[in-house]
Structure 1
Amino acid sequence: MAQELIDLLWREHPLAPRGGARGPRAKVTTSQAVDAAIALADAEGLDAVTARRLAADLGISAMAVYTHVGSLEDLRVLMLDTACARHRPALYADEGWRGRVRQVAKSELDLYSGHWWILDIADQRTALGPGTIAKYDHELRAFDGAGLSDIDRDAALTFVLDFARSSAQARRPDPRAADMAAAWSAWGPRLAAYLGDDYPLAQRVGAAAGEAMDAAYSPAAAWEFGLARVLDALRAVIG
């Protein structure tokens, strides 16, 4: 039987309970099972991480998987916490809060870009893990010297991370993107004919934005514009 999730999350801590000496030694460790699950999710997505598939990759039985991770829901929490622990952000290079917060936002976007499956996990128990807590502590320090209360510091960080998550959703690879580009190229003139003089504002703004970005949508342009507005909004609170 697997340990409780809290003990699995902190399995490397000196205070974590250890298994007994009796019985045959397990072929794999919990950390190896989590590593294999992360590799599988990186390659094929979170839905590919099943007990049967993971067991095949590890060379163990499907039931043995559950002796290491408890449940697939627990496994996802372990995967996310491990990803956070490995995503070690650089030391803050800017002395001002604005530069540090920008660094936090970019680091969060990089985390999603390295593991798109994280966007599919919404289990709040991830907040209990050592990797997630260490990440949270580092991110909070971006607001040092900003004069925020503890509650406002937490809220400000959540505001920034929520923006980064929504931006990551927009950047997530979409196999239909090529189809949309082809459809726009092939059907653009016919769409213009259908529209005629209707929706002049949408047509004017859409044409200007499309020409500026050389695309119907630019994640990079949306990121820079949105992050600047996030920082401006925080300045009103911090100032």
Structure 2
Amino acid sequence: MTADRTGGGEPSATLALLWNTPDTTVRRKGPVRSVTVPQIVDAALALADGDGLAALTMRAVAEKVGISTMSVYTYVPGKPELLDLMVDTLYARMKRHDWDREPWRERLIAIAETNRALLSEHPWMTEVAAISRPPLGPGLMAKYENELAAFDNTGLADLEVDAALTFLLGFVQSHCRTAHDARRATTDSAINDAEWWAANQPILEQALDPAAYPRAVRIGVAAGESQGAAWDDERSWSFGLACTLDGLAMLIGPVNCA
């Protein structure tokens, strides 16, 4: 069974769809086309955004656009290729920044915040958007070009720029995946973090011996009281992004840190 990840489809068919070029591996037989590939993609996005990846099936997409399931395959070979189209479409719709007058740190904050907004609005992307095999379509290339430009005048070599951008986006994806999992846990359990901790506090107080776990008890209690939970989205984001940028500042150096 093919995993729901980008880059899982047949390469030539996927690239032909992404760049809207002819390809013999995409099946063209069937009735006269009544919808377009962008309409198929928008229907798939609506399903994934509304009910998650579990709701994204070729049958559901077909029903949403009003054609038969088999007809969908005359537009898109399968779900792996459809996922690539969905992700690249969202990349194409992202805001592009003009970096001319901003310091490098502000540029990278803008990249991080823009990508966080995308993954927060479409949380299923944290499950499918593989950094190692991204959809090499026009949306991704425009995104990549714009984000690389944020490193202009930092003094970094080309390979360092690529590695630095990957490092930054890796933090964003990891954080958003954790935030997505935290929200899903709340939804699945029907109680929020504060209610969960309150329900478990009595037994935890009995089980966790401060003598055996002095740091865990002391620091854990302090963090829990401060955040109202074991993990706080905004605090984790602010701390993690600052550390990520501070790490990159060591690479860029004081000469280019304006």
Q: What TM-score, normalized to structure 2?
A: 0.83
Q: 1:91 to 1:178 in 2, by over 3 A?
A: farther
Q: Which residue of 89, 105, 112 corresponds with 1:98?
A: 105
Shift of 1:169: 0.9
Distance 1:98 1:209 in 2: 28
Partner of 1:178: 191
Task: Give secondary structure in 1 for the equivalent of 2:150.
Answer: helix
Aligned-pair RMSD on alpha carbons?
A: 2.3
Partner of 2:208: 195
**What letter is aligned with 1:47?**
A
Partner of 1:38: 45
Q: 1:200 to 1:5 in 2, by over 3 A?
A: same
Shift of 1:177: 7.0
Partner of 1:166: 174
Partner of 1:9: 18
Counterpart contact for 2:49–2:122, Cα < 8 Å: yes
Query: Identity over aligned residues, as a percent?
Result: 44
Shift of 1:23: 8.5
List runs of 5+ in structure 1 lacking aligned partners.
none
**What letter is aligned with 2:225?**
E
Q: 1:170 to 1:177 in 2, by over 3 A?
A: farther
Residue 210, structure 1, aligned to residue 224, structure 2: yes
- Counterpart mapping for 1:132-171 below 5 A: 132-171=140-179
- Counterpart mapping for 1:32-111 below 5 A: 32-92=39-99, 95-111=102-118
Q: 1:125 to 1:184 in 2, by over 3 A?
A: closer
Partner of 2:240: 226
Shift of 1:212: 2.2
Distance 2:227 2:96 in 1: 30
Distance 1:93 1:202 in 2: 47
- Counterpart mapping for 1:106-125 below 5 A: 106-122=113-129, 125=133
Distance 1:104 1:75 in 2: 26
**What letter is aligned with 1:202?**
A
Shift of 1:215: 2.5
Q: What TM-score, normalized to structure 1?
A: 0.89
Distance 1:87 1:181 in 2: 35
Partner of 1:238: 252
**What letter is aligned with 2:15?**
I
Q: 1:213 to 1:180 in 2, by over 3 A?
A: closer
Q: Give the ranges of 4+ consecutive aligned residues of structure 1 lying more than 6 Å apart after TM superposition.
A: none
**What letter is aligned with 1:190?**
I
